[in-house]
């Protein structure tokens, strides 16, 4: 049978179809530590290689320090990233340049471009037809939460950011949950005209704990964006190398949450 989606052998295809997986990211390089949240290039490459063929084009509308574009280079795909924060866009450009140098001739004919801009206006950036979108949004305004466990060390360093930016256009600065969700859905919905027919969109996201309550961001996003694209499935990314914290010990149930949802949508 002709493989229309990717270049993978059947055994590799079958392994990726498992609905959950464990991926413990390698240590982050010094240049990207400044960014308070990113997903690993090693994991991004697996998704890119499943949902595209060599030479096709990948987009990350919230590119951060360029993880998706680095992964696309390694996988032999063209890539574009949109990043609102000029500091992260600059870092991403340098990281991509270094990666291209490291890859040498294999990356010479590949496009890997960071666009400093607002993903809300992605349709205006004259992008080519996109074969796959891989991205992860801000997890609401959680980086503004002073008690967040992952923020404690960052707050003691003048070199590490504790939130993405102070830009009012940054969705991570929207403090009303419903407004945040609506804005996020509108950004992703606005990408549909860029996508090739039957191309996939993967969003890596998790549900949020705030003020003793769960905000089901992954599920809400799946429901609302499922009105624009076809929601095809989910993969659950698990991390098993995180230290446990005694949240609510002796008084209440509070889980240690070490999983993310990788939501798969298709543009039909």
The CATH superfamily label for domain 10-32+39-140+164-266 reads: Vaccinia Virus protein VP39 (3.40.50.150)
Question: What angle, rounded to 10 degrees, do the helices at 67-75 and 41-51 form?
Answer: 50
Beta bridge partners of 214: 209
The set of residues, in sequence order, having a beta carbon less than 8 Å from that of 199 and lying 6+ positions away, is: 51, 130, 131, 132, 133, 266, 267
Identify the pLDDT of residue 35.
43
pLDDT grade for 166, boundaries at 50, 70 and 90: low
pLDDT in tens, 20-78: 999 987 776 655 545 455 678 999 999 999 999 999 999 999 999 999 999 999 999 99
């Amino acid at each position: 049978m002709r493989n229309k989606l990717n270049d993978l052998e059947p055994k590799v295809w079958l392994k990726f179809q498992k609905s959950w997986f464990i991926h413990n990211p390698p240590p982050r390089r010094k240049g990207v530590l400044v960014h308070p949240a990113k997903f690993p290039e090693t994991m991004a490459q697996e998704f890119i290689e499943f949902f595209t063929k060599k030479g096709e084009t990948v987009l990350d509308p919230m590119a951060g320090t360029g993880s998706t574009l680095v992964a696309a280079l390694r996988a032999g795909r063209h890539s574009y990233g949109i990043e609102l924060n000029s500091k992260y866009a600059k870092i991403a450009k340098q990281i991509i340049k270094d990666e291209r140098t490291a890859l040498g001739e294999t990356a010479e004919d590949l496009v890997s471009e960071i666009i400093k801009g607002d993903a809300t206006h992605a349709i205006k950036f004259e992008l080519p037809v996109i074969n796959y979108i891989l991205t992860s949004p801000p997890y609401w305004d959680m980086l503004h939460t002073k008690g967040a466990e992952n923020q404690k060390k960052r707050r003691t360093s003048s070199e590490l950011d504790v939130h993405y930016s102070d830009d009012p256009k940054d969705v991570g600065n929207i403090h009303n949950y419903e407004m945040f969700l609506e804005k996020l859905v509108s950004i992703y919905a606005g990408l549909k005209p860029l996508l090739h027919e039957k191309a996939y969109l993967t969003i890596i996201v998790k549900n949020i704990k705030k003020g003793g309550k769960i905000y089901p961001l992954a599920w809400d996003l799946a429901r609302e964006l499922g009105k624009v694209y076809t929601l095809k499935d989910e993969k659950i990314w698990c991390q098993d190398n995180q230290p446990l914290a005694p949240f609510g010990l002796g008084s209440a149930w509070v889980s240690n949450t070490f999983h993310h949802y990788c939501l798969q949508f298709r543009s039909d």
